[in-house]
Chain A
């Protein structure tokens, strides 16, 4: 009997833990120690230049995670993917060279299998947007160009995972950017990043992830440790390539070792961000839902008004304790000082 956990920290909602530069990765590392499979997503695992290969973690892009949670797609683990790269035509040659050097470095130094790359036939024209809720979103000016590039890449190189590097605007609101670099507020880029990878995964049903291409920022001595991983180098690409190189493939029919949503034993979410598609789907499974209060976000979407029965805990450390007890089949009520007596049925 395996024990599988889904860990979700939605992107672009200002999560106190996981809302910055891969700063939920320590949570994922710890959680992976007490389950057979940890199913999580790029926002948790991507620390720009930094990453940590977790042997039993499944790196699943958000659209694929939603389909998995619905039971429509399964995850085929233990992959050795050929990762193809798509470059936005809007990226300047020097900035593209920086990214190509990173890609070559992951081949030479980490041994990743990358294919030749494709440049989109039009600039993608990414536009950032902040919703009334304060969360970050975005739209893509030329999504068809992105999808043509992906189709070309898959057909010409037999890539089975895709990294997209697109030019993001440098003129992000100065206050928003400073807040983010100082470890508060919302990642202004991440909502648009998710849209790009969702488009690829929806169309081609293969793993995809995104790295934004940006001009280097001036040195700021007040950078938060939670954001600092994005200050190390010229690109955010290494974590994406490492994650995709072992990302599970999506399958539409059960295979010998594929994993399906009915095999998920527990889901861990921030307590104020219960309104995502994957969370609503997993309530239908016999799955323990743990809501972490300390990981506050910009949102106030609690599980209870949505009809979700969740166990509330204060911290991720407490969540890990709950997972250990749940895995062991131990009644969680025993961990509270007052345990009521049994009563006869009326």
Chain B
């Protein structure tokens, strides 16, 4: 197993739960999400920047 620090930009969604699902779906493309948080929000672009640790086998 390897731990990786990654970042991702996610479009804001109509609800927090949909946003959470969109974040996790994006992170899962890069590994198994271990810990993540939204680090900033761009209200003009309507995006959230996410910092995360994912693991890969």
A and B are partners in one complex rather than unrelated chains: yes
Known contacts A131-B7, A139-B5, A301-B41; A62 and B20 CB within 8 A of each other: no
- Interface SS of B by simple majority: strand
Q: How far is the CB of A133 from chain B (nearest CB, A)?
A: 4
Known contacts A199-B34, A283-B16, A283-B17; A305 and B41 CB within 8 A of each other: yes
Q: How far is the CB of B6 from chain A (nearest CB, A)?
A: 10
- Complex partner residue of B12 from A195, A277, A305, CB under 8 angstroms: A305
Known contacts A137-B53, A194-B35, A195-B53; A306 and B4 CB within 8 A of each other: no
Chain B contacts with A in 1-47, Cβ cutoff 8 A: 1-5, 7, 12-17, 19-20, 34-41, 43
Q: How far is the CA of A63 from the CA of B37 in the complex (A)?
A: 12
Q: How far is the CA of A305 from the CA of B53 in the complex (A)?
A: 24
Q: How far is the CB of B27 from chain A (nearest CB, A)?
A: 11
Size of the A side of the interface (Cβ < 8 Å), in residues, is: 39
B15 proximity list for chain A (CB < 8 A): 283, 307
- Complex partner residue of A306 from B1, B34, B38, B51, CB under 8 angstroms: B38
Q: How far is the CB of A306 from chain B (nearest CB, A)?
A: 6
Interchain CB contact under 8 A, B5 and A301: no
Interchain CB contact under 8 A, B17 and A280: yes
- Complex partner residue of B17 from A133, A281, A305, CB under 8 angstroms: A281
Interchain CB contact under 8 A, B5 and A131: yes
Interchain CB contact under 8 A, A300 and B17: no
Q: How far is the CA of A135 from the CA of B51 in the complex (A)?
A: 9
- Work out how many contacts link A and B, with CB atoms closer than 8 A: 99
The residue among A129, A140, A280 with the most chain B CB atoms within 10 A of its own CB is: A280
A144 proximity list for chain B (CB < 8 A): 1
Chain A contacts with B in 103-146, Cβ cutoff 8 A: 129, 131-133, 135, 137-140, 143-144
Interchain CB contact under 8 A, A195 and B7: no
- Complex partner residue of A139 from B4, B12, B17, B51, CB under 8 angstroms: B4
Q: How large is the interface on B (under 10, 10 to 19, 20 to 34, 35 or more residues)?
A: 20 to 34
Interchain CB contact under 8 A, B41 and A198: no
Q: Which residue of B lies closest to A282 (CB)?
A: B16
- Complex partner residue of A131 from B19, B39, B41, B48, CB under 8 angstroms: B39
Residue A212 at the chain B interface, CB threshold 8 Å: no
Q: How far is the CB of A209 from chain B (nearest CB, A)?
A: 14
Known contacts A135-B51, A143-B55; A280 and B1 CB within 8 A of each other: no
Interchain CB contact under 8 A, B13 and A307: yes
Interchain CB contact under 8 A, A275 and B39: yes
Q: How far is the CB of B44 from chain A (nearest CB, A)?
A: 11
A133 proximity list for chain B (CB < 8 A): 39-40, 49, 51
Interchain CB contact under 8 A, A301 and B39: yes
Interchain CB contact under 8 A, A307 and B39: no
Q: How far is the CA of A274 from the CA of B19 in the complex (A)?
A: 12
Interchain CB contact under 8 A, A306 and B16: yes
Q: How far is the CB of B51 from chain A (nearest CB, A)?
A: 5
Chain A contacts with B in 163-205, Cβ cutoff 8 A: 194-195, 198-199, 202
Q: How far is the CB of B10 from chain A (nearest CB, A)?
A: 10
Q: How far is the CB of B37 from chain A (nearest CB, A)?
A: 5
A139 proximity list for chain B (CB < 8 A): 3-5, 53
Closest 5 CB pairs of A and B: A275-B38, A133-B39, A280-B20, A283-B16, A280-B16
Residue numbers of B with Cβ under 8 A of A are: 1-5, 7, 12-17, 19-20, 34-41, 43, 48-51, 53, 55
